[in-house]
Amino acid sequence: MASPLDDSALAQLRAPSLEDLEVLADAAFASLPSRFTRLCEGLVIHVEDFPDEEILEEMECETEFDLLGLFRGQGLAQREAAAQTGEPPNMIWLYRRPIIDYWADGEDTLQEIITHVLVHEIGHHFGLSDEDMEEIEQKAG
């Protein structure tokens, strides 16, 4: 006997790939207000399945699903000096499996979650308030 899902759209569903999340992340970043994105000129967004063990230890995570994203970089004043010393660009890592797990348990769209993670990773790094970040997310939506 055939499964009830064999002929339905559900049978065709698959988890978003690394590439799918990269496309969503690029679209999310492009939708943010320019006054916010200027903080991260040259930002590079990476998508990986999980953070590595070193990151998990550094961030004091209990499981590999505890971290959705991570920002590494410097502020604008520091960036000018760094450009002369060969420092890497500002980077954000998005972790696909924890993001998908979070998405599956909630009501937000995957795009909303990715936008939220990007805004909060950048915002916390630059000392923005939760209210500022909420306003930025609303303008992006």
**Domain chopping of the chain, boundaries:** 15-140
Give the per-residue pLDDT at 99. 98
CATH topology of domain 15-140: Zincin-like (3.30.2010)
Per-block average pLDDT, block size 10, for the chain (141 residues)? Answer: 54 85 94 83 91 96 97 66 67 96 94 93 82 84 69
- Rounded to a whole number of angstroms, the CA Rg of the chain reads 17
Give the per-residue pLDDT at 13. 77
Place of tokens 């998508």: 47
Segments in 3-129 forming alpha helices (H)? 18-31, 34-37, 53-58, 76-85, 96-104, 110-125
Question: Contact at 8 Å (CB) between 115 and 69?
Answer: no
Give the per-residue pLDDT at 1. 47
Tokens of 121: 């990773």
Give the per-residue pLDDT at 77. 47
* Strand partners for 46: 93
